[in-house]
């Protein structure tokens, strides 16, 4: 199936209330599928509720670096770190089942869903990366060179972005995390645009005009 309109949710970080609002909003918008870039754990809210919401909505979700650390029981000295004892068995099974990447077909070309870039869940790409900062991102150059994907949907940086690289467009929807301008996005691959929506307390508002896709 080739998707036309998809909802995109960035790094979750246990923001169960915002996740519920986002999923309800996107379902009302009648998107064909919902994508989530992971980092479900490590935050102030309920990881169990987040996992249940993602599972119930059939969101296509990949594993973030925080989810990997959680399952490895590493980096648990981080602020707001989730521990295995904090999460029920059903949620642990859900997080453990997540893969690093997922591939989807859109009406405008193939899409790679990941957390960082491709299999590297720690690779950062921000709107401010130019020159040498771009030259050293091997995963980006491989993705551009192979031309296997038209779109990358990723996260990790908590910074929203739609950025064009020759034959590749990278879409980062940011995060649900309360301290980093929480938002979501709706991508319309038929119309060739991405619309961001900001959280205002318990509802979402459109932010500016849609960003154009190449």
Q: What is the pLDDT along the chain (214 residues), one digit of tens a residue?
A: 899 999 999 999 999 999 999 999 999 999 999 999 999 999 999 999 999 999 999 999 999 999 999 999 999 999 999 999 999 999 999 999 999 999 999 999 999 999 999 999 999 999 999 999 989 999 999 999 999 999 999 999 999 999 999 999 999 999 999 999 999 999 999 999 999 999 998 899 999 999 999 7
Query: What does the alpha-carbon distance between residue 207 and residue 204 come to, in Å, rounded to a whole number?
Result: 9
The CA-CA-CA angle for residues 196, 198, 201, to 5°, reads 160
Q: Which of 23, 30, 95 is nearest to 58 (CA)?
A: 23
pTM for this model (two decimals): 0.96
For 129-172, write each residue's pLDDT tens digit. Answer: 999 998 999 999 999 999 999 999 999 999 999 999 999 999 99
**Coil vs helix vs strand at 198:** strand
> Of 3.40.190.10, 3.30.930.10, 3.60.21.10, 2.60.40.420, which CATH number belongs to 2-207?
3.60.21.10
Domain positions in the chain:
2-207
């Amino acid at each position: 199936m080739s998707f036309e309109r998809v909802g995109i949710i960035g790094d979750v970080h246990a923001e169960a209330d915002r996740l519920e609002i986002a999923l309800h909003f996107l379902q009302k918008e009648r998107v064909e599928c919902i994508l989530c870039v992971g980092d479900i754990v490590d935050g102030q809210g309920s990881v169990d509720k987040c996992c249940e919401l993602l599972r119930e909505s059939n969101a296509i979700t990949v594993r973030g670096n925080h989810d990997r650390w959680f399952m490895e029981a590493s980096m648990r000295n981080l602020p707001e770190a989730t521990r295995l004892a904090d999460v029920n068995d059903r949620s642990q099974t859900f997080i453990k089942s997540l893969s690093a990447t997922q591939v989807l077909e859109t009406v405008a070309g193939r899409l790679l869903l990941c957390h960082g870039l491709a299999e590297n869940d720690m690779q950062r790409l921000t709107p401010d990366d130019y020159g040498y900062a771009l030259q050293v991102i091997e995963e980006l150059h491989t993705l551009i060179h192979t031309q296997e994907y038209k779109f990358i949907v990723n996260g990790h940086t908590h910074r929203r972005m739609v950025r064009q690289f020759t034959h590749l467009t990278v879409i980062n929807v940011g995060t649900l995390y309360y301290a980093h301008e929480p938002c979501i996005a709706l991508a319309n691959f038929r119309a060739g645009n991405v619309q961001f929506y900001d959280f205002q307390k318990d509802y979402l508002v459109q932010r500016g005009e849609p960003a154009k896709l190449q």
